[in-house]
Amino acid sequence: MAVAQTSLGAGPPIAPLTGDRVPRQSSVRNALAAYEHQFLLYRRTWRGSIFGSFAQPVLFLVAMGIGLGGFVDQSGSGAIDVPYIEFLAPALLVSTVMQGSSFEATFPVLGGFHWNRRYHAMYATPLSPYAIAFGQIAWIATRATMVGAIFCAVIVAFGAAGSPAIVFAIPVGTLTALAFAGPIAAYMTTQHDTTAFNSIWRFGITPLFLFSGTFFPIEQLPEQIRWIAWLLPLWHGVDLARALSLGTVGDAPLVQLAHVVILTTMSVVGVYAMFVMYRRQLAK
Amino acid sequence: MSDIAPPPPPLIHARGLTKRFGEFTAVDGIDFDVAPGESFGFLGPNGAGKTSTMRMVACVSPVTSGTLRILDLEPNADGARIRGQLGVVPQQDTLDTELSVKDNLVIYGRYFGLSRKEAARRGDELLEFAQLTERANDKVEPLSGGMKRRLTIARALINEPSILLLDEPTTGLDPQARHLLWERLYRLKQRGVTLVLTTHYMDEAEQLCDRLVVMDKARIVAEGSPRTLIEQYSTREVTELRFPVGVQETLDGQLDGVGDRIEYLPDRVLVYSDDGEAAAAAAHDRGLQPETVLVRRSSLEDVFLRLTGRSLVD
C-alpha cells in the first residue's frame, strides 16, 4: 500500500498544553464561525434560491395583484382607498418571508440534530450550543432579509409600491421571521421526525397565511371574531408593514406600536427558548 | 521507563466518574488515568457505558458526579477550552453531506479559530494523509464507508489535537480500510498524540492499545495491557475440541483436569492451558475422539468473553 509522506506522519512530537496554558476562544468568533458555515452551504444552492425568491413574488403579484386586484378594483366596493395591488404588496412580502423562515426553522434544525448531525460535529469543537443556535437563527434572519429585499425590488418593478416607504416592509419581514422562527426552532429541537412539521404547516402556517389580513382587511371578518387577529402573530407584521408603506401609521399609532412590541417580544422569547433548547439537546 | 523521573501527570484523570440519565446509571463510579502519549482503550459489550464515558471525556456530556480532569482542567467548567485540544471521531458519522470533502475540513478548522488560509493549508495536508486528495472537491455523500471514516479522522486532526477520541473507529469497514486506518493511527501515536478509543474488535484493541479497561454493566471489570490481561484472565493457549453431534453431551466430566479451565459451548469445548498440544494429547489419552482439534494462542477475545459473559446483549 502506498503511504503518502506528509508532515503529519513524520512531524515533530505534539506536546500537550495543560492547565492555564490551554487557550480560550472568543465566544463572538465562535458564533461567527457557526454563521459562516451557513454561507458555505448556501454557496452550493444560491442560484436556485435567488431564482425562487424572484419567481414567487412575480407569480403572486400577477395572480393576486393584477388578476384578483384588477377584479376587486373594478367592482369598486370602496372598502380600501388604494389600488388592491398596493394594499396587497407589503402584506404579501411579510407573509412570504414568514413562510420561508418557518421552513428554515424546521428541516435544517431537524437535520442538524438527527440527519446529517451537523450540530453534534460543531459541538465537538470549542463552539457552545449558543454559538450553534446563533449561527442558525442569524442565517434565518439573513435569508429573511434577502427574500424581503428581492420581493421589494419586484414590487417596485411591478409599479405596485404606493410610496418609497415600501422598503420598511423589509425590516418588518425580518422581525416577523424571527418571531416565527425562534419558537418553531425551539420546538423542533424536541422532534425526531417530520410529523410535527406537517401539523405546523397544515394547522399553523397555511391558515395564518390566509386569515391574517394579507388578502383582505381583517374588518371583513365577523365582528365577534375580529379580536382573534391580535392572537395571530402574522397579522401584527402584515398590518405594520402595510401601515408603514401606505403611510397610515398616524391613523392608529398605538396599534402600530403594539405590533412592534408584540413581534419583538415573540422574537426575544422565542430565540431565548431556542438557545436554551439547543443547550439541553446537545449537552445531555 | 526511568526509575528516577516521576511519571508525567495524566492527561485524563477520572475518579468515581458517574453518569446518570434519570434513574438509569450509564457509568457507575469508574477510575482511570491516561498518560500523555498513551493509547488507551475501552472494551465492552454494547450498553456497557463506553460511549457515555467517551462523551464525558469529549466534554459534551456533563459529569453527574465524581472527578474528571482533562489536561488539568474541569470539563463542567472549561469544556470549550478542553474541546479546543481534542479531536473527536464519533461512532456515527457527522460529516456535512451538503459540503465538499475539502470544505468539511476548512469549516472545521474555522471552528478551532484557524484563519481561512491556515485551515485550507492544513486541509490539503490532511487530505493527503487520508488519501483523499483526488476527492477534495467531491461531495461527501458518494464516498465509501472507509473514505468517510478517513475524512472524519482527518477532520478530527485539523486542530492538531493532543488527545484523539475514537468511538468504534472501524466498525463496518472492510479489512483493507481497517488496516489503513490502523496504520494512520499508529503514525499519530508515534508523534505523541494520545489515543483513547472504544472498540469491540479484539484484534483492534491488541493492535492499537497500550493499555485498556474492560467495561461491563457501567463498571470497569479489568484493567491492564492486552498481554497482562490475557495472562491474568486466560491461559497461554486454548485447545478447541469439536465432537460429533451428540457426543459432547455424554462427556460427563471425562475432560476434568485436562487443562486449567474448561468451558463447554453449544458446539465445542474450550480447554484453557499453557500447553495446548499437551491438553489435546491428554484428551486423546483418555480415549476421547474429537472430530477436529484446534490449538491457538489465547486472545483478548477469551478475556473479554470470560469477563463479560457469553450471553447476547442488545
pLDDT digits (tens, 9 = 90+) for A140-178: 999 999 999 999 999 999 999 878 999 999 999 999 999
pLDDT at A75: 81
Give residue limits of the domains in chain A: 28-36+46-282
Q: How far apart are CA A89 and CA A162, in angstroms?
A: 9
C-alpha to C-alpha distances, B58 to A5, A201, B126, nearest whole angstrom: 30, 38, 22
pLDDT digits (tens, 9 = 90+) for A58-94: 998 989 888 888 888 888 766 778 899 999 999 999 9
Q: Which of B150, B156, B153, B36 is nearest to B87 (CA)?
A: B156
Residue keyed to cell 466518574: B17
- What global pTM score does this model have? 0.91
pLDDT at B201: 83
pLDDT at residue A5 greater than cutoff 70: no
Longest dimension (CA), chain A: 83
Distance from CA of B92 to the nearest CA of A (A): 9
pLDDT at residue A4 greater than cutoff 50: no
ipTM above 0.95, yes or no: no
pLDDT at residue A184 greater than cutoff 60: yes
Average pLDDT score over chain A: 91
Residue A249 carries which DSSP code?
Answer: G
Mean pLDDT lowest for which of A120-124, A191-195, A256-260?
A: A191-195
Task: Locate the chain B residue with the closest alpha carbon to A37.
Answer: B107
pLDDT digits (tens, 9 = 90+) for B201-258: 888 898 899 999 999 999 999 999 998 998 898 888 999 999 988 888 888 888 888 8
Kindly write down the DSSP assignment for every residue of A133-183, as one continuous string: HHHHHHHHHHHHHHHHHHHHHHHHHTT--SSGGGGGHHHHHHHHHHHHHHH
Q: Is B59 left (phi over 0), alpha (psi -120 to 50) or beta?
A: left
Q: Given the DSSP bridges, would you call strands B86-89 and B219-224 parallel, antiparallel or unpaired?
A: unpaired
Helix (H) or strand (E) holding B165: strand B163-167
pLDDT at B304: 86
pLDDT at B311: 67
Is the Cβ–Cβ distance between B140 and B103 less than 8 Å? no
Residue B259 carries which DSSP code?
Answer: S
Contact of A107 with chain B, judged by CB distance below 8 Å, is answered with no
Q: Is B212 left (phi over 0), alpha (psi -120 to 50) or beta?
A: beta
Distance from CA of A205 to the nearest CA of B (A): 27
Q: What is the 3-state secondary structure (H, E, C) of A109-138?
A: HHHHHHHCCHHHHHHCCCCCHHHHHHHHHH
pLDDT digits (tens, 9 = 90+) for A205-226: 888 888 899 998 888 888 888 8
Is the Cβ–Cβ distance between A147 and A207 less than 8 Å? no
Task: Locate the chain B residue with the closest alpha carbon to A5.
Answer: B129
What CATH number labels B12-224? 3.40.50.300
Asked if the domains at B12-224 and B235-297 fall in one CATH topology, the answer is no
C-alpha to C-alpha distances, A34 to A38, A112, B64, B95, B250, nearest whole angstrom: 7, 12, 29, 15, 68
Is the Cβ–Cβ distance between A183 and A266 less than 8 Å? yes
Q: What percent of chain A has pLDDT over 90?
A: 65
Give residue limits of the domains in chain B: 12-224, 235-297
Task: Locate the chain B residue with the closest alpha carbon to A108.
Answer: B98
Chain A / chain B CB contacts < 8 angstroms: 138
Which residues of chain A have a CB within 8 Å of the CB of B97? 116
pLDDT at residue B53 greater than cutoff 60: yes
Q: Which of the pair, A10 or B97, is modelled with greater confidence?
A: B97
How many C-beta atoms lie closer than 10 Å to residue B93's C-beta?
17
pLDDT at residue A1 greater than cutoff 60: no
Q: How far apart are CA B22 and CA B213, in angstroms?
A: 26
Is A41 within 8 Å of B98 when comparing Cβ atoms? yes
Contact of A120 with chain B, judged by CB distance below 8 Å, is answered with yes
CATH architecture assigned to B235-297? 2-Layer Sandwich (3.30)
Which residues of chain A have a CB within 8 Å of the CB of B96? 37, 41, 116, 118, 121
Which residues of chain B have a CB within 8 Å of the CB of A7? 125
Query: What is the average per-residue pLDDT within B109-134?
Result: 96
